[in-house]
Amino acid sequence: MRIGWALAGTLALCMAASAAAEDGALIRADELKATPFIDAATAVKLPANQAVTIVERKGGWLKVEANGQTGWVRMLNVRLAAASGPAQGQANVRAASLLRTNSSGRTVTTGIKGLGEEDLKNASPDPAQVAELTTLAVSADEATANARASGLVEQQVEYLDEKKGKAKKQ
């Protein structure tokens, strides 16, 4: 029974340590958002290297405090501060990190699925999929009628002159 209480106490200590705020800095300028969504209202724009205190995590977003304001920034724009040693509770944080998904508890990894170089090298056409794709094609007149019915309006877009970086008429 004593072991059970000791384990529960250690677990509670670790969870409290893992809930503690972490310090970091913005890698690049970012917007402090009211909610963790890309289209959320922007409270303030933060410059690169802005010091932040991370108070919560939600998906790919971090709730941070900066310059007396609290809001959300994208996780990929934040670098966590280096550990400062046991004197400031880092020993407890290291213990709590054992409950996280990696050994240090300080690394954030976001995976993006897609085609890699090897996938492209080994790619081959799939005639059945090409045939399926051709059944979905519509004529230019059908596409225009559908666009108009949906309220879309035609616009002319100038081509970019790759050498000069300016738009040019065609």
What is the per-residue pLDDT across 8-48, written as a single tens digit (0 to 9) for each? 454 444 444 445 678 999 999 999 999 999 899 999 999 99
Cα angle 162-167-168, degrees, rounded to a multiple of 5? 95
Q: Does 170 have pLDDT greater than 50?
A: yes
pLDDT tens digits along 121-149 = 888 888 998 899 889 899 999 999 999 99
As a whole number of angstroms, the distance between CA 135 and CA 104 comes to 53
Does this model's pTM top 0.85?
Answer: no
The domains located in the chain, with CATH, are 2-97 (2.30.30.40), 126-168 (no CATH)
User: What is the per-residue pLDDT for 94?
Assistant: 44
The candidate with the shortest Cα–Cα distance to 51, out of 72, 15, 27, 31, is 27
pLDDT tens digits along 63-119 = 999 999 999 999 989 998 875 544 444 444 444 443 344 444 555 555 555 677 888
User: What is the per-residue pLDDT for 81?
Assistant: 83
Coil, helix or strand for 29? coil
Q: CB of 102 within 8 A of CB of 17?
A: no
User: What is the per-residue pLDDT for 119?
Assistant: 81
Q: What is the bridge-based pairing of β-strands 22-26 and 78-80?
A: antiparallel
User: What is the per-residue pLDDT for 103?
Assistant: 45
Give one DSSP letter per residue of 61-115, joined into a string.
Answer: EEEEEETTEEEEEEGGGEEEPPP--GGGTHHHHHHHHTTSSSSSS----------
